[in-house]
Amino acid sequence: MPSGSRDYNLTQSRHTSSPQWTLLGCGALGGVFASLLTQSGQATRVLLRERHRSTLHPGIDFTSLEGHTQLINIERGFISQPGQIKRLLVMTKAGQVIEALTPLVGQLATDVPIVLLHNGMGIAEQVVTLFPHNPIIAGVTSHGAMQSGHFVFRHTGKGETWLGPVNEAARAHAALADDLAAALGQAGWDEQIQARQWQKLAVNCAINPLTALYKLKNGELAGPRFADALQQICVEVADVMQAEGQPTGSDELLRRVMTVVELTADNYSSMYQDMEQGRETEIEAITGFLLARAASHGIAVPVNQGLYQAIKEKQ
């Protein structure tokens, strides 16, 4: 299919009484994952909030990495009447996870795995408290996604996705990664998912606040103007990671950050997009989490503290 082409033959989500995947939240990344899962033949439903009940839902207008646009007919449901859920993929922003999940307390069978795919850390522990018997799985993904209108999504970058257990019950669910891989091209299971979450957190602490404050594409952070700031952010994150039992060096973190800057050079970070759209950012779960862990170890993180304050003032 040539780049930029449009195809309005609807890709149908298989309508079974209980879809294979139920997605909670349909922002940029949720829309892209819902589209890719449906395209791979895995029946998928998105659960929306009640306020979307009256909005028109003609399907998802999805543009692939290759620039091919397709209208995807996807089943939708509402949180108040969730129907039967086999596996729940939570794709809301970090700050909305608990609010979105709370109405489902008592509605989910205890063997339903809950997969969390937001940026930042510190939320999964709260989800375990809400659903003490369910398998809780944390995920990190570096796929790029943009939303340019109501149910209009573009896949802007192919990334990696990793899942891993938060609690004991989750250990039996490694096969979820295989199903995701069938849709995304790659996905893996890692028993040490916390290490990957910390590495992603470091990347987000470096890229997200700076791109949002200075209104930059990720690639613009490669310029000499930001070299010192990026290095200091990485030194501070590495200090906290060491104290948390996640040994790493600041040089290693900086290399990781610069690789992501390069790979996503043409993308706008999620925090940039949130600020531009006037949405709440994920600063609490990203830099806020780092500051909390730093404070508990008595570690000073002045550069990250300054970025946190600047985003809070602007958002």
Q: Which is nearer to ligand KPL, 104 or 234 (CB)?
A: 234
What is residue 236's three-state secondary structure? Answer: helix
Query: Is position 200 annotated as part of the catalytic site?
Result: yes
| Choices 76-84, 101-109, 243-251, 260-268; region in contact with ligand KPL by CB under 6 A | 260-268
What b-and-e string marks burial along 41-79, b requiring 16 or more CB atoms within 10 Å of the CB?
ebbbbbbbbeebeeeebebbbbbbeeebbbbbebbbbbb
Look up residue 151 and give its DSSP letter: T
Residue 250, interface with ligand KPL (CB under 6 A)? no
Taking residue 147's Cβ as centre, other Cβ atoms within 10 Å add up to 18
Interaction pattern, residues 195-214, with ligand KPL; x per rule: CB under 6 A:
--------xx--xx------
Q: Which of 143, 13, 138 is nearest to 75 (CA)?
A: 13
Q: Distance (Å, rounded) from C-alpha 213 to C-alpha 8?
A: 38
Size of the site for ligand KPL (CB under 6 A): 12
CB of 50 to ligand KPL, least distance (A): 27
Residue 315, interface with ligand KPL (CB under 6 A)? no
Q: Which is nearer to ligand KPL, 177 or 203 (CB)?
A: 203
Backbone angles phi, psi at 10, to 5 degrees: -60, 130
As a whole number of Å, the end-to-end CA separation of the chain is: 41
Residues numbered 57 to 86 that lie near ligand KPL (CB under 6 A) are none
Q: Which is nearer to ligand KPL, 176 or 260 (CB)?
A: 260
What b-and-e string marks burial along 237-263, b requiring 16 or more CB atoms within 10 Å of the CB?
bbbbbeeeebebebeebbebbbebbeb
CB of 146 to ligand KPL, least distance (A): 10
Q: Which is nearer to ligand KPL, 169 or 286 (CB)?
A: 286
Q: Distance (Å, rounded) from C-alpha 250 to C-alpha 69?
A: 41
- Candidates 119, 167, 250, 287; binder of ligand KPL (CB under 6 A) is 119
Residue 146, interface with ligand KPL (CB under 6 A)? no
CB of 11 to ligand KPL, least distance (A): 27
CB of 208 to ligand KPL, least distance (A): 6
Q: Which of 35, 8, 50 is nearest to 151 (CA)?
A: 35
- Candidates 13, 63, 167, 267; binder of ligand KPL (CB under 6 A) is 267
What is residue 183's three-state secondary structure? Answer: helix
Q: Which is nearer to ligand KPL, 29 or 114 (CB)?
A: 29
- Candidates 92, 218, 246, 281; binder of ligand KPL (CB under 6 A) is 218
Q: Which of 93, 158, 200, 312 is catalytic?
A: 200
The β-bridge partners of 6 are: 69
CB of 142 to ligand KPL, least distance (A): 5
Q: Which is nearer to ligand KPL, 83 or 219 (CB)?
A: 219
Task: Please give the angle made by the CA atoms of 269, 43 and 200, to the nearest 5 degrees.
Answer: 25
Q: Distance (Å, rounded) from C-alpha 41 to C-alpha 60?
A: 15
Contact residues for ligand KPL (CB under 6 A)?
119, 142, 203-204, 207-208, 218, 260, 264, 267, 269-270
Q: Which residues are catalytic?
A: 200
